Amino acid sequence: MLGTAAAGGGVPHGAILVDFAEAVLGDNDERASRARIALSERLGDAALVDAAAVVAFFNAIDRVADASGIPLDPERIDLTADLRAQLGIDAFAQDRV
């Protein structure tokens, strides 16, 4: 990140939306539940559905990018070594110019 951003990205209700996204993508069910309730109470059920759809889309598109051959982030190389070996994914690697 270059520089600093306003809390919540500088968008209306950004802090609650960021908290929701981080919570539902995390591994703490209680935090995710609290974030869903907070977003619903503050912005309404329609906003909750919209926010969940956006989080799901960005989570999915990251997986599509990974599957399409976009180079693996350096910090994921060690974390995915066993899985890549098991699936034979490294056999598809190619040098990029």
Residue 2 lies in a domain: no
Handedness of CA 75, 77, 78, 80 (dihedral sign): positive
Residue 35 lies in a domain: yes
Residue 1 lies in a domain: no
Residues spanned by the domain of 69: 9-91
Question: Maximum distance among all alpha carbons in the chain?
Answer: 51
Residue 82 lies in a domain: yes
Q: What mean pLDDT do residues 61-81 have? A: 82
Count of domains observed in the chain: 1
Comparing 89 with 28, the larger pLDDT belongs to: 28
State yes or no: pLDDT of 70 exceeds 90.
no
Residue 34 lies in a domain: yes
State yes or no: pLDDT of 96 exceeds 60.
no
Residue 14 lies in a domain: yes
Question: At which residue do the structure tokens 């976009």 appear?
Answer: 70
Pinpoint the alpha helices (H) of the chain.
14-25, 29-43, 45-67, 74-87
Question: At which residue do the structure tokens 């799901």 appear?
Answer: 56
Residue 3 lies in a domain: no
Q: Nearest CA to 13 among 44, 55, 59, 58? A: 44
Residue 4 lies in a domain: no
Q: What mean pLDDT do residues 57-77 have? A: 82
